[in-house]
Structure 1
Amino acid sequence: MIDVAHFLESSPITPTIDEIRAALDAQAPQQIYNPDQFIAPEAYIHDYRAAAVLIPIFPCPDSGDLKVLLTQRSLNMRNHPGQIAFPGGKHDPEDASIQYTALRETLEEVGLAPDCFELIGELGEYCSISGYCIKPVVAEMTRMSELSLSEAEVECVHWVPLNHLLNPQNFQYIERKIGNITRGYFEVRYHDLRIWGVTAGIIFGLYQAIENHYRS
């Protein structure tokens, strides 16, 4: 089991795109640790459905800094309105692959076509309380294109420095009692953005995959 306290005290990592690719190539994806599954296992008894998200990483041409595209869900959505998320959604039966799901949902949500990206690897699944096993697909954004946001799904987008997201000192682990059940989740703050739950958990999984490669 992951030692959450140890993680929160770990050093930041500042990988290049090539180092991220090497890290994801070097190891089989491991299911992402979700602390909530261990402290509230009764909430995770599901017939899980498949879903995918894209982690789009853009190397800024002027500085070389890596930035990650995050969406803010529409305030009118029935589920999780206003939350920060990666572009993505459920795997449809007609989707050719889980990678196709991530790219299709990105096109639908923010208007970025598949040819804007080079897929560089995958993380293990993150199983959520809502009954989805989510496959994170990591991609380098090789060309910038004008965004076209789906008004029904996306309120706005944010470009967040990857180095900020891969610094455990920017994480918090929060436990909260809801009814008779104690729930636990990660949270990352960036200016006025609150990145938490599934999205923060997937970022944690990305850190773990890269950091494991650094240590090997």
Structure 2
Amino acid sequence: MGLLSYDLNAISTRIGGRPVDLDSLSAERQAAVAVILRASEAPEADAEVLLVRRAERAGDPWSGHMALPGGRREPDDSSLFVTAVRETREEVGFDLGEHGVLLGRLPDVPAVARGRRVGMVVVPFVFALRSERPEVVLRLNEELVEAMWTPVGPLARGEMNGTTAYLHEGQPFDMPCYRVGDRVVWGLTHRMLGHLFEALHQA
């Protein structure tokens, strides 16, 4: 698989082709996230993806969740690609315009909180860190409490698949998730990573 050997051309070919700078403002709220990949320090090892954990905040439906860097589109953002770059810079402290290569855009995902759509669409953009650049330093803002580079191979191969209990309107559900150590990646982030892995598994 191209992903495991960090074959950027293969990844870009499989997820590329969608426009990245033609997003007009709409009545539905918009947001963008960055799926950021980097090569492992160990030769032939799996590439890694950056996961973050959001701070506990009252009124935030995704409070405390594992997530990808990103956030809502601002009126001054000329496109959702610009939103992804700006939010990454604000949340984790480095500029994807300088340190990253855009590989492509994954399918849009309608945002869901507590089992209901919330009138917002989330667009994931996939980036790779430039291998010739020095190691970037993560500087988290107040919206995040943790960031971790996680090997993609075990996620893509299903080795971290699991379920997590979720109570909705008094009814218990087992929701699909990835278990990264003692962290649970589920919901929107699970869906977006799933779209990435589906594209990479295509022949």
Which TM-score band applies after superposition, normalised by the shorter structure?
Answer: 0.7 to 0.9
Superposition deviation, residue 170 in structure 1:
2.3
- Residue 145 of structure 1 is matched in structure 2 by 136
Superposition deviation, residue 117 in structure 1:
0.7
Q: Deviations over 1:185-209 (max 9, x none)?
A: 4300011111111111111111111
Corresponding pairs, count: 182
Q: TM-score, normalised by structure 1?
A: 0.75
Cα RMSD of the aligned pairs, angstroms, is: 2.4
Query: Among residues 27, 44, 56, which one is paired with 1:75 in the alignment?
Result: 56
Q: Tell me the distance in 2 between the aligned counterparts of 1:96 and 1:125.
A: 18
Unpaired runs of 5+ residues, structure 1, are: 1-12, 30-46
- Residue 83 of structure 2 is matched in structure 1 by 101
Higher relative contact order, chain-length normalized (CA < 8 Å, sep 6+): 1
Give yes or no for contact 1:185–1:201 (8 Å, CA) kept in 2.
no
Matched residue of 2:128: which SS?
strand
- Residue 63 of structure 1 is matched in structure 2 by 43
Q: Tell me the distance in 1 between the aligned counterparts of 2:164 and 2:145.
A: 26
Task: Select the structure that is richer in helix.
Answer: 1
Q: Tell me the distance in 2 between the aligned counterparts of 1:22 and 1:88.
A: 24
Query: Among residues 97, 101, 108, which one is paired with 1:118 in the alignment?
Result: 101
Identity of aligned residues (%): 26
Give yes or no for contact 2:51–2:68 (8 Å, CA) kept in 1.
yes
Q: Tell me the distance in 1 between the aligned counterparts of 2:167 and 2:67.
A: 24
Q: TM-score, normalised by structure 2?
A: 0.79
Q: Deviations over 1:22-43 (max 9, x none)?
A: 2113x659xxxxxxxxxxxxxx
The 1:85–1:77 alpha-carbon spacing in structure 2 relative to 1, beyond 3 Å, is farther
Unpaired runs of 5+ residues, structure 2, are: 20-26, 113-117
Verify: 1:131 aligned to 2:113, yes or no: no
Task: Select the structure that is richer in strand.
Answer: 2
Query: Among residues 9, 18, 23, which one is paired with 2:14 in the alignment?
Result: 23
